[in-house]
Amino acid sequence: MPRDGTETRTLIMDAAQELILQHGFAGTSVDAILERVSLTKGAFFHHFRSKGELAQALIERFAAADEAVLRSALERSERLTRDPVQRLLLFVSLLEEQAAALIEPYPGCLFASFCHEAQLFDEDVHGVIRAGFEHWQAEVSARVRAAMAHRPPRLEVSPDDVAAMLTAVVEGAFILSRSLNDAALLARQLRHYRNYLELLFGDP
């Protein structure tokens, strides 16, 4: 095996993410991360110039994975049906399906985690988070708009806000599921979000 640091770097990031989701960023020491992966400070600071740079690397990776989930669900929903309203509902159902699978490892959203310690991070980090949220909102909003164009909703609503509600429900569900120790809570909440859309676009 050619001495490849990428593996070690990934190892560190995986351990870091898991710990951060449980203890928060400030509550997760570099030592604690390294103990998990049996490495030393030397290795850590070879890969990351500072703990802040680790944070940067982590949200960037998380944002990429998050976007992949969004894109996959969007693309599948568009392949499976042509009706804009059905597409939207199916999209949420696909997310719900994924959420039902989330039990182990302990779930959590790095975006939310970092937001709750906002002052610890620089503008770069917050930029990535904001971009992540805005990307979901923009993509979902476009599908809501398409559905509205296809069938007028029962109530007058802003597509942007309807889209934002998806993110809000997901983030809120994460918190509740952890506190109430109820892993299925997220999926059930997504079902209610789908209910809302169904009622909004349903026959009068």
Partner DNA sequence: ACAAGCGGGACTACCCGTTGTT
Partner DNA sequence: AACAACGGGTAGTCCCGCTTGT
Kindly state the smallest distance separating residue 117's Cβ from DNA, in Å.
12
Return the structure tokens found at 36: 């998990």
What does the alpha-carbon distance between residue 17 and residue 25 come to, in Å, rounded to a whole number? 9
Looking at residue 184, the DSSP 8-state letter turns out to be T
Question: By the 8 A CB rule, do 69 and 37 touch?
Answer: no
| Interface with a second copy (CB under 8 A), residue from 10, 40, 72, 158 | 158
Q: Which does 43 bind (CB under 5 to 8 A by kind): DNA, a second copy, none?
A: DNA
User: If binding is defined by CB under 7 A, does position 39 make contact with DNA?
Assistant: yes
124 lines the binding site for DNA (CB under 7 A): no
Q: How far is CA 139 from CA 71, 94, 115, 159, in A?
A: 9, 15, 22, 11
Among 15, 17, 21, 28, binds DNA (CB under 7 A): 28
Tokens describing residue 168: 């809000």
Range in contact with DNA (rule: CB under 7 A) among 46-54, 77-85, 92-100, 173-181 = 46-54
What is d(CA 156, CA 103) in angstroms, rounded to the nearest whole number?
Answer: 37
Q: What is the DSSP string of 23-57?
A: H-STTS-HHHHHHHHT--HHHHHHH-SSHHHHHHH
- Closest to DNA by CB, 19 or 166: 19
Among 113, 140, 141, 143, binds a second copy (CB under 8 A): 113
Q: Which residue stretch of 45-53, 128-136, 163-171, 189-197 sits at the interface with DNA (rule: CB under 7 A)?
A: 45-53
CB–CB of 33/11 below 8 Å? no
Q: Which residues bind DNA (CB under 7 A)?
A: 1-9, 28-32, 38-47, 49-52
Q: Which residues bind a second copy (CB under 8 A)?
A: 22-27, 108, 111-113, 115-120, 126, 129-130, 133-134, 154-155, 157-158, 161-162, 164-165, 167-173, 175-176, 178-180, 185, 188-189, 191-192, 195-196, 198-200, 202, 204
